[in-house]
């Protein structure tokens, strides 16, 4: 058993705003409490929502309105990265970690998130997933996992979104992560069968624990202190 333990919260489907509020609450608790805590791992699915990072805080309002007319929400966030989509069929993971308990380097942290997904794709599903200078995980020229994080006083928020059986048509209305000429894909698209978040989650947790050298403790949201 590892000396580092992270509390796992499986939230099901939750609105983006409610989940962000929870992230902020947990991150502040890690910054202010003297209790020796490593952090939390939130697993969630969102209803359709487009989010932009701090590099696109002035995203065109006409384009924003067009996206909202599609039936999605639109949120400006304080994470890194550019525009992306979140919706049902994505395994969304928000690690709220105290990096002082791991490695106080945001580059190390992002690289470990990429390694988690790359190993999941390659070792569990036999794919040839890669990473590039563009943050995220790729299958050939198609992104399968987007990553956008924030770190304040060594505590992380936001995280990653792995496409399991996501409706990829939502991505047609944006330039995902600002990368022209690139595509998106999902596990279900690659294998031509339905692969759900619940199918993938046990393997994700296994690879996350290996990458971050930690254990995970299942926790109910009403038992968080």
The binding site for substrate consists of 79-86, 146-148, 159-161
Helix or strand (DSSP H, E) at 90: strand 90-97
Cα dist. 126→76, 106, 204 in Å?
A: 36, 29, 14
Closest CA to 83 of 112, 56, 49: 56
Point out the catalytic residue in the list 38, 121, 145, 177.
Answer: 177
Residue 209 annotated as catalytic: no
> Maximum distance among all alpha carbons in the chain?
52
DSSP 174: S
Query: Contact at 8 Å (CB) between 37 and 98?
Result: yes
Catalytic residues: 177
């Amino acid at each position: 058993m590892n000396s580092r333990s992270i509390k796992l919260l499986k939230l099901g489907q939750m609105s983006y705003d409610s989940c962000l509020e929870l992230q902020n609450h947990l991150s502040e608790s890690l910054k202010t409490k003297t209790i020796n805590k490593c952090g939390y791992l939130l697993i969630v699915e969102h209803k359709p929502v487009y989010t932009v990072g701090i590099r696109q805080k002035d995203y065109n309002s006409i384009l924003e309105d067009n996206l909202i007319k599609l039936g999605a929400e639109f949120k400006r966030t304080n994470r890194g990265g550019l525009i992306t989509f979140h919706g049902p069929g994505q395994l969304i993971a928000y690690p709220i970690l105290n990096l002082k308990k791991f490695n106080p380097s945001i580059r190390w942290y992002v690289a470990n998130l990429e390694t988690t997904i790359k190993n999941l794709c390659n070792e569990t599903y036999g794919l040839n997933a890669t990473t590039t200078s563009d943050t995220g995980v790729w299958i050939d020229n198609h992104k399968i996992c987007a990553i956008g994080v924030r770190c304040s006083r060594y505590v992380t928020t936001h995280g990653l979104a792995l496409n399991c059986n996501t409706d990829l048509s939502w991505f047609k209305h944006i330039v995902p992560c600002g990368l022209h000429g690139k595509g998106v894909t999902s596990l279900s698209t690659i294998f031509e069968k339905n692969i759900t978040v619940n199918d993938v989650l046990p393997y994700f947790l296994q690879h996350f624990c290996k990458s971050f050298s930690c254990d995970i403790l299942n926790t109910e949201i009403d038992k968080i202190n």
